[in-house]
Amino acid sequence: MDHARAPLLEALGEYHRLDRYGFTPPGHRQGRGVDERVRGILGADAFRSDVVSNSGLDDRKASGGYLAQAEELMADAVGADYAFFSTCGSSLSVKAAMLAVVGAGSEGLLVGRDSHKSIVAGLIFAGVQPRWITPRWDAELHLSHPPSPEAVRETWERYPDAAAALVVSPSPYGTCANISGIAEVCHERGKPLIIDEAWGAHLPFHDELPTWAMDAGADVCVVSVHKMGAGFEQGSVFHLRGDLVDRIRLSECADLLMTTSPNVLVYAALDGWRRQMVERGNELLTAALRLSETLRDTIGRMPGLRVLGDELLGREASDDLDRLQILIDVSELGVSGYQCADWLREHRRVDVGLSDHRRVLATISIADDAATGQRLVEALAAFTRAAPDLPTPNPIRLPHPQELELETVMSPRDAFFGRVETVAVDRAVGRLAAEQITPYPPGIPVVVPGERINAAILEYLKTGVGAGMVVPDAADPAIETIRVVAE
């Protein structure tokens, strides 16, 4: 296929050249109606290219087929059979994949318990009973590694009639599962494997990166191009290979969830990123990997900072690691990752994507270079000097791995949509959760609707909030009260 083409971008360029004008949405009419104060911040070009998809970029019949062509090129670029664009993020894409594999009377879905909150939302929408695959909890580092093939096999043996398996890889920390081993376990049973690879859009384009899910045998792979690619926020693609998942059903499930007013800017950026990766991806990612190596070495030699790498790998840990994700432990400085993230933002105007009780994560992309890398180095160096003057962080009661494994009593859907009541946190022990409670980032729910709440989890959440943890999806982010199933 001709990967020098970018059908959606070309159509948008033609739209401008022809000076089209639509008496259609969007009502701002390519920026003509936008308040000048808004235009002054967002820029005129953003509005100029915000056009309606049908009866705008394309005709009312979509006879130009620009989106279909762009999706075909994307699939060809990464070796998938089909690719589907989403302007609603991987949160939509993974829900569509889940709906496509479960049917009426399904015996549930095998799901890694370290899954993102969007997957739990999919369980609620679909009315699916999760059959949790236990991740590998690291009691020393206090993080979870993706589940092993052995753990997936054991879960299949307990729930042989489940519809499919869904695993997150890479994790928000950059650690990766043994996808080929997990795919083999699933395919022995003729069951599909869905990989939520939101953090792995770049993986198909460089040999030094972890193996891309499709190349490792996954049937459906969901990627967020806005995370590690060069797309707009909400730009996502889900890929399909093989015949274990019905293509038409997958497309129809996506259509059920998708907006009928997709953002052409998001579509066009996905199209342009694919072309860039095919033409220059290896070169750009090589430069990013070399920069990351240098930064890892430099940051790792700073007093009080520890860059995590090989200790994340091993038989009882993760199978591989995306080394563009620089995970930095700051605990030797006597501070928390929350304090580090807040200090970097306030004093150095530098943001990090993930922070927890002892770590921050800096993500390197193809956009970074020596200048941006030096900005990160200088900001962290300044933080190490400032850390001794920061207050001692409030302690967090970290649960034992077994305490994190809550008992599932009801389906997430029944618990979420059933009768609920709000109780004080000290009265929630032993009650069934009616909401999900998710420290964010990374966005992995600690409590899922339908699970029986224990004291250790509540203490973890309360002390975590006191130390700077954010739980934005809880009805009460201060964790003074909890929504539970009414008795």
**Two structure tokens written together for 179:** 């996808």
Among 56-70, 132-146, 226-240, which stretch is predicted with the lowest mean pLDDT?
Answer: 132-146
Give the confidence band of 225 by pLDDT, cuts at 50, 70, 90.
Answer: very high
Q: Where do we find the tokens 């599932």?
A: 408
In this predicted structure, what is the pLDDT of residue 146?
Answer: 92
**CA-closest candidate to residue 441, choices 372, 360, 364:** 360
Give the confidence band of 138 by pLDDT, cuts at 50, 70, 90.
Answer: confident
Count the Cβ atoms, other than its own, within 10 Å of residue 119: 29
pLDDT of 341 higher than 70:
yes
pLDDT of 153 higher than 80:
yes
Buried b vs exposed e over 45-68: b needs ≥16 C-beta within 10 Å? eebebbbbbbebbbeeeeebebbe
pLDDT of 143 higher than 70:
yes
3-state secondary structure (DSSP) of residue 364: coil
User: How far, in whole angstroms, is CA 392 from its chain's centroid?
Assistant: 32
In this predicted structure, what is the pLDDT of residue 105?
Answer: 66
Q: What is the pLDDT of residues 409-447, one digit of tens each?
A: 999 999 999 999 999 999 999 999 999 999 987 888 999
Backbone angles phi, psi at 249, to 5 degrees: -65, -40
Q: Where do we find the tokens 């959606």?
A: 8
What kind of fold does domain 281-389 have according to CATH?
Answer: Aspartate Aminotransferase, domain 1 (3.90.1150)
Give the confidence band of 231 by pLDDT, cuts at 50, 70, 90.
Answer: very high
Q: What is the pLDDT of residues 117-130, one digit of tens each?
A: 999 999 998 899 99
CATH number of 7-275: 3.40.640.10
Find the mean pLDDT for residues 91-96.
Answer: 92
Class of domain 401-485: alpha beta
Count the Cβ atoms, other than its own, within 10 Å of residue 289: 17
pLDDT of 337 higher than 70:
yes
The CA distance from 449 to 428, in Å, is 13
In this predicted structure, what is the pLDDT of residue 144?
Answer: 86
What is this structure's pTM?
Answer: 0.95
Torsion sign across C-alpha atoms 140, 142, 148, 153: positive
Give the confidence band of 136 by pLDDT, cuts at 50, 70, 90.
Answer: confident
Q: What is the pLDDT of residues 378-387, one digit of tens each?
A: 999 999 999 9
pLDDT of 477 higher than 90:
yes
The CA distance from 380 to 343, in Å, is 10
In this predicted structure, what is the pLDDT of residue 137?
Answer: 84
Give the confidence band of 323 by pLDDT, cuts at 50, 70, 90.
Answer: very high
The alpha-carbon radius of gyration of the chain (Å, integer) is 23
Q: What are the helix and strand counts (H, E) for the chain?
A: 16, 17
The CA distance from 213 to 192, in Å, is 13
In this predicted structure, what is the pLDDT of residue 340?
Answer: 98
Find the mean pLDDT for residues 272-290.
Answer: 98
pLDDT higher at 291 or 104: 291
In this predicted structure, what is the pLDDT of residue 104?
Answer: 64
Q: 437 near 461, Cβ under 8 Å?
A: yes
Return the top range by mean pLDDT from 53-57, 135-139, 324-328: 324-328
Q: Where do we find the tokens 């890892």?
A: 296
Each domain of the chain, given as residue ranges in start order, spans 7-275, 281-389, 401-485
Find the mean pLDDT for residues 190-209.
Answer: 96
In this predicted structure, what is the pLDDT of residue 126?
Answer: 87
Give the confidence band of 482 by pLDDT, cuts at 50, 70, 90.
Answer: very high
DSSP 230-295: S--TT-EEEEE-SSSS-HHHHHHHHHHHS-SS--HHHHHHHHHHHHHHHHHHHHHHHHHHHHHHHH
Residue 194: how many CA atoms within 13 Å on its side-chain side? 29
In this predicted structure, what is the pLDDT of residue 475?
Answer: 96
In this predicted structure, what is the pLDDT of residue 299?
Answer: 98
Q: 380 near 446, Cβ under 8 Å?
A: no
